[in-house]
Amino acid sequence: MPVHNREIADKFDRLADLLEIEGANPFRVRAYHNAARTVRGYPRSMADLLDDGEDLSELPDIGEDLAEKIRKLVESGELPLLDEVEERTPSALSELMKIEGLGAKRVKALHDALEIDTIDDLKAAAERGDIRSVEGFGEKSEEKIKQRLEKYSGDEKRTQLIEAEEIAKPLVEYLKKAEGLKDIAIAGSYRRRKETVGDLDILITARQDADIMDHFTDYDEVEEIVSKGKTRSTVYLRSGMQVDLRVVPQVSFGAAQHYFTGSRDHNIAVRKLGIKKGYKVNEYGVFKGDERIAGKTEKSVYGKMDLPYIEPELRENRGELEAARDGKLPRLVTLDDIRGNLHTHTRSTDGHDSMEKMAEAAIGRGYEYLAITDHSRRLTVANGLDAKRLRKQLQAIDKYNDEQDDIRLLKSIEVDILEDGKLDLPDSVLKELDFVLCAVHHKFDLSRKKQTERMVRALDNRYCHILAHPSGRLINEREAYEFDLEKILQEAADRDCAIELNAQPDRLDLTDESCKMAKELGVKISIASDAHSVTDLDYMRFGIDQARRGWLEKGDVINCLPLKKLLKRFGR
């Protein structure tokens, strides 16, 4: 039974958390977290790489020791070192670290002083007022923990899109091998490219004598068969994800795709349009009385509503039907429209590859330009650059650009926005760059008013060209910090400062709705991978998915511009 990248990464992350609680060497802890990030975001499964005889130790942050641990995980699903550590330290302690503000040292302090091992223990201690008595805490800290516990949900989280892909793609390939299968499509939120997915809806057409359902339930990752019929079966996979497989008639395939893709609100609105025309619209087709008049294709369903085809990413009932009726649907941005990437890191700070390797990979993706945006000095955990090291990097970039014509490396930096809104490096240094990327990396707990004022002060700096991952959220891990997004977008529009749509699958920051708001306010967007390795450059496609959900077009995205126009925008 194959072990997915997500499962390997989760074990490495849990091991790193528990080692940190134990007070292990920080470099060792970071090594496991870095390995988890590499594995989780790698475009191919570790199992496939091993089957092909690839040397895993050549992957970013994966040396021989970690490569051997991955091999054992793939073969057995076990990580012996994690088992050893869990015997010494309760594994539930790693869950406590998901509460914002509770790092390893604070979790250990609570465990040692109050025997807090679980979220429930923490809630009870906070309600009793015990936390304030622990050294290093206090009444204010206890109150913040209470507030964060109220926001924290122990409910099963939806699966990130990148992880859903890892589950869905091999399943679809397996189903395609079934004798008699004709058409197959994944519907639901997966097809609408939502940032998280609840379950998988798969639609197929097949010959009448095809034994599809036996083939489906025999899939080696099926953990539980919930129901099994001739036209519909439901299973739970080992990953915990529910999968519904439906066999539909060929004549209804388009209608079924439309119905099961959703969203529910979009479908209701389409059905209401149908009722006004005297039609009934459902998963079997569009009917006038008992006669099916459309349904073989989705285009035919929309056509009977006197509408053009509406892309799945737009189907959220946020004005797409009205736009379609008025001939104003956006021509959504595509991956082919992207001319370059404006947020990448190298091993000069916390990246895994050299500047030259990043450039080579960008050339392979057809990019015209690539920005090197390593961290600034305040981010010590990332070995951030001070003025001296940055200027040395700028010289290396100039030398690279002088020696080749395949791509232009842009001189930049991801500079920290300090608590008072000032930037982490002086203007005398920033003015030497092609553009400056500004970001909040600390003090997430400021009040809404103070956080907003901080970000506005940063935008006031003439060298703030792009505001990176503006909300600071991590999907399923960290809520966005409190700030007035609409005000920030308006201030950015007034200053002609772009806002980043960070394409890392665990960020996707801006949200789709925020992208739409930015577009309406006239704010330009940079879709950027925030790549820390050559493989991370492929995250761009998730940013495109999010941008399309946010109604963005080529003209809304600054890295769809050719180099000369981009540099002119930055005043260079």
- In degrees and rounded to multiples of 5, residue 353 shows phi and psi of -125, 160
* Element at 236 (helix H, strand E): strand 232-237
In this structure, is residue 207 part of a structural domain? yes
What's the one-letter identity of residue 556? D
Instruction: Specify the pLDDT at position 244.
Output: 96
**What is the pairing mode between strands 181-186 and 200-206?**
antiparallel
14 or 174, which is more confident: 174
**What is the pairing mode between strands 437-439 and 159-160?**
unpaired
What's the one-letter identity of residue 32? Y
| pLDDT mean over 54-68 | 90
Instruction: Specify the pLDDT at position 415.
Output: 97
C-beta of residue 235 within 8 angstroms of C-beta of residue 242: yes
C-beta of residue 522 within 8 angstroms of C-beta of residue 493: yes
C-beta of residue 465 within 8 angstroms of C-beta of residue 498: yes
Checking if the pLDDT of 15 tops 60, the result is yes
Residue 528's pLDDT band (cuts 50, 70, 90): very high
Task: Single out the residue in 247, 263, 290 at which a domain terminates.
Answer: 247
**What is the pairing mode between strands 437-439 and 414-416?**
parallel
152 or 568, which is more confident: 568
Q: What is the mean pLDDT of the chain?
A: 93
In this structure, is residue 484 part of a structural domain? yes
- Residues 339, 300: one domain? no
- Residues 141, 206: one domain? no
| pLDDT mean over 435-459 | 95
Cα-trace Rg, the chain: 26
Q: What is the DSSP letter of 56?
A: G
pTM reported for the whole predicted model: 0.85
Order of strands, edge to edge, in the sheet holding 525-528?
414-416, 437-439, 466-467, 498-502, 525-528
| pLDDT mean over 15-28 | 88
Checking if the pLDDT of 540 tops 60, the result is yes
| pLDDT mean over 383-391 | 94
| Bridge partner list, 306 | none
- Residues 422, 348: one domain? yes
Instruction: Specify the pLDDT at position 167.
Output: 93
For the chain, the distance separating the N- and C-terminal CA atoms, rounded to the nearest angstrom, is 55
- Residues 291, 259: one domain? yes
- Residues 498, 427: one domain? yes
Tokens representing 214?
């036996």
Residue 182's pLDDT band (cuts 50, 70, 90): very high
In this structure, is residue 330 part of a structural domain? no
C-beta of residue 118 within 8 angstroms of C-beta of residue 95: yes
Cα gap 226→244, rounded to integer Å: 10
Cα gap 242→256, rounded to integer Å: 19
Range name among 27-36, 452-461, 466-475 with the lowest pLDDT average: 27-36
548 or 75, which is more confident: 548
Angle at 399 between CA 395 and CA 403, to 5 degrees: 170
Find how far residue 73's CA is from the centre of its chain: 25
- The CATH number of whichever domain residue 405 belongs to comes to 3.20.20.140
Checking if the pLDDT of 47 tops 80, the result is yes
Nearest one of 428, 416, 479, 489 to 456, comparing CA atoms: 489
C-beta of residue 455 within 8 angstroms of C-beta of residue 417: yes
Checking if the pLDDT of 156 tops 80, the result is no
In this structure, is residue 316 part of a structural domain? yes
Instruction: Specify the pLDDT at position 155.
Output: 53
327 in the Ramachandran plot: left (φ > 0), alpha (ψ -120 to 50) or beta?
A: left
- Residues 307, 348: one domain? no
Task: Single out the residue in 265, 298, 325 at which a domain terminates.
Answer: 325
- Residues 409, 547: one domain? yes
Residue 1's pLDDT band (cuts 50, 70, 90): low
C-beta of residue 205 within 8 angstroms of C-beta of residue 249: yes
Q: What is the pLDDT of residues 335-376, one digit of tens each?
A: 999 999 999 999 999 888 999 999 999 999 999 999 999 999
- Residues 49, 116: one domain? yes
Checking if the pLDDT of 154 tops 90, the result is no
C-beta of residue 108 within 8 angstroms of C-beta of residue 486: no
- The CATH number of whichever domain residue 190 belongs to comes to 3.30.460.10
In this structure, is residue 25 part of a structural domain? yes
Neighbour tally for 128: CB within 10 Å: 11
Task: Single out the residue in 224, 247, 270 at which a domain terminates.
Answer: 247
Torsion of CA 209, 213, 215, 216, to 10 degrees: 150
In this structure, is residue 351 part of a structural domain? yes
- Residues 230, 291: one domain? no
- Residues 191, 108: one domain? no
- Residues 240, 288: one domain? no
Instruction: Specify the pLDDT at position 153.
Output: 59
The CA–CA distances, whole Å, from 178 to 168, 187, 213, 458 equal 16, 19, 9, 57
In this structure, is residue 114 part of a structural domain? yes
Residue 413's pLDDT band (cuts 50, 70, 90): very high
Long-range Cβ contact pairs of 490-493 (< 8 A, separation 24 or more): 490/521, 491/456, 491/459, 492/459, 492/467, 492/523, 493/521, 493/522, 493/523
Range name among 94-103, 244-253, 298-307, 318-327 with the lowest pLDDT average: 94-103
- Residues 458, 366: one domain? yes
> How many domains does the chain fold into?
4
Residue 572's pLDDT band (cuts 50, 70, 90): low
* Parent domain of 110: 5-151
Cα gap 449→120, rounded to integer Å: 32
Q: pLDDT exceeding 90 applies to what percent of the chain?
A: 73
544 or 90, which is more confident: 544
Instruction: Specify the pLDDT at position 431.
Output: 95
C-beta of residue 528 within 8 angstroms of C-beta of residue 467: no
Cα gap 336→357, rounded to integer Å: 22
- The CATH number of whichever domain residue 312 belongs to comes to 3.30.210.10
Instruction: Specify the pLDDT at position 239.
Output: 87
